[in-house]
Amino acid sequence: MTMWTGISLSCFILWILRSAHYVESTCSQPSSEWSGNWYDSQFDGTFGITWSSNVITITGWSVTAYSSTVTSWSCVTEDTTNNYIVFLGDQTVNLFGQPQNAYICMAWTQVSTYSYVYYLQANTEANAGEFRVFIEESTIATGAASKYCAPTSGPSTAEYHTLVKQSHITSVGQYFPTLLLGTYEYTANDGSSSLCGTGSVWDNCNDRTITAFNYTQCATVMAYSSGGTLYNVYSVVSGSYTYVTLVNADATTDESTTYRFTCLICQASGSNVQLSIDHGSCSTSGNPSTVPAGGMTATLTPYVTCPFTTTSATTTSSAAASATSSTTETSSGGIGLYIGAAIGGLLFILIIIGVIIICLKLKKKKNVVQDEEKKQAPPQECVIETMSPRDALEIGSPDIDNRLTPLPVQPIAPVTAPQTDKHPLPPITNNG
């Protein structure tokens, strides 16, 4: 009887320790939009979040470790400074007959009202299919978030996952990175044959947040979308590759030929773009030239490119910066150009203002000098003397001082009588 009492007491203590995870859980809801159903790129399926009395419960994450599967999770602790939320599996993992707790640390960042990006902050677990999960004995009480969110070998920049709230796919589009801003002809390869090619249309220009395929030009289903329309959710640059996650706007997907999420791993190749196409979250082991299982590679040749010529909105929080670098991967060189132009224009305006001020000062100085000269000059008065009629008729002799110098008088030469022959006049005779 004593043995059974001891066993019962041990079980009761384990139950108390296990229950303590829930009693002590106080998790803040990051957003009022968190409650509800989401699409999750990590599992290519739905992700349900229930928020009630400071407890976040998640369904849709299925993690198998040591032949045990955990299918639902509850938030037990958090770090609001770093946006960490720690979830504890509602089912234990059986390790050689000993129950183990499974913890997931989600480091989240909001991209838009209805989309998030998150990283799993834990080391990969070999006995859980390399999934990033923290496993420890169930007898150990839950600790602080820092215990579960400090991996010695954490995820790389490209190892991200995305959440999109259901019924809001059309509201989550982010601008594509510059590398994919164009309308392209594409040649795809599924590992066995070359597809599409001349005349095909992959359009990222009509709306810089949407990829649209023209299936009239080439009927091959691309990017796991039967409707041919996908929205850019998030993108990052890591090394020489650009990673892009698209969400499929199809009403339903079968997770066989069509999927909700598509990953593009892209790289420039001259004027072309080389990329691989896979479903779900991007794999850090993938590359633009290798055909993933069930996926494709494609070479995009631009008909036309449509990069931004002005800085767009831009950007959100740090982890989402690359996403809205899709927002604005308007190059930093372009921004520098605009800043330089603005500074140059400002200097030109300042020079013009300076010249105007100098001219106004010179004009003012000239006016002052003229005013001073006017003040120093004696006033000119016109004096009118009254005259009597007699004065007006009297001609006075000019003053000697005002006389003109007299002209010299030339002597008059004596008039000489003309010389004639002094012959006597003939006598007057009277013929009478």
Q: Is residue 432 part of a domain?
A: no
User: How does DSSP assign 181-228, residue by residue?
Assistant: -EEEEEEEE-SS-EEE-TT--EESSSSTTEEEE-TTT--S-BTTBSS-
What is the C-alpha to C-alpha distance for residues 251 and 131, in angstroms, rounded to an integer?
Answer: 30
What is the C-alpha to C-alpha distance for residues 76 and 22, in angstroms, rounded to an integer?
Answer: 6
> How many structural domains are present in the chain?
2
Query: What type of residue is 338?
Result: Y
pLDDT, position 427 = 56
Q: Are residues 123 and 200 in the same domain?
A: no
Q: Are residues 258 and 140 in the same domain?
A: no
pLDDT, position 379 = 54
Q: Are residues 290 and 194 in the same domain?
A: yes
Mean pLDDT of the chain: 81
Exposure string of 213-252, with b = 16+ CB inside 10 Å and e = fewer, is: bebeebeeebbbbbebbbbbbbbbbbeebbbbbbbbbbee
Question: In the block, which residue shows the tokens 């510059």?
Answer: 178
Among 63-72, 277-286, 358-367, the range scoring the smallest mean pLDDT is: 358-367
Q: Are residues 57 and 142 in the same domain?
A: yes
In tens, the pLDDT along 196-233 reads 999 999 999 999 999 999 999 999 999 999 999 999 99
Q: Is residue 153 part of a domain?
A: yes
pLDDT, position 310 = 60
Q: Are residues 41 and 159 in the same domain?
A: yes
Q: Is residue 6 part of a domain?
A: no
Angle, CA of 6, 11 and 15, to the nearest 5°:
145
Average of pLDDT values for 74-102? 95
Q: Are residues 232 and 147 in the same domain?
A: no
State the residue range of the domain holding 115.
Answer: 32-165
Q: Are residues 48 and 143 in the same domain?
A: yes
Q: Is residue 76 part of a domain?
A: yes
**Last residue of one domain, picked from the residues 275, 305, 335:** 305
pLDDT band at 8 (very low <50, low <70, confident <90, very high): very low
Q: Is residue 370 part of a domain?
A: no
Q: Are residues 161 and 183 in the same domain?
A: no
**Last residue of one domain, picked from the residues 284, 305, 326:** 305
**Last residue of one domain, picked from the residues 141, 165, 189:** 165
Q: Is residue 26 part of a domain?
A: no
Question: In the block, which residue shows the tokens 């000239």?
Answer: 366
Q: Is residue 118 part of a domain?
A: yes
Q: Are residues 212 and 253 in the same domain?
A: yes
pLDDT, position 14 = 39
Q: Which of 110, 67, 61, 66 is nearest to 89 (CA)?
A: 61
Q: Is residue 237 part of a domain?
A: yes
In tens, the pLDDT along 133-153 reads 999 999 999 999 999 999 999
pLDDT band at 372 (very low <50, low <70, confident <90, very high): low
**Three-state secondary structure call for residue 25:** coil
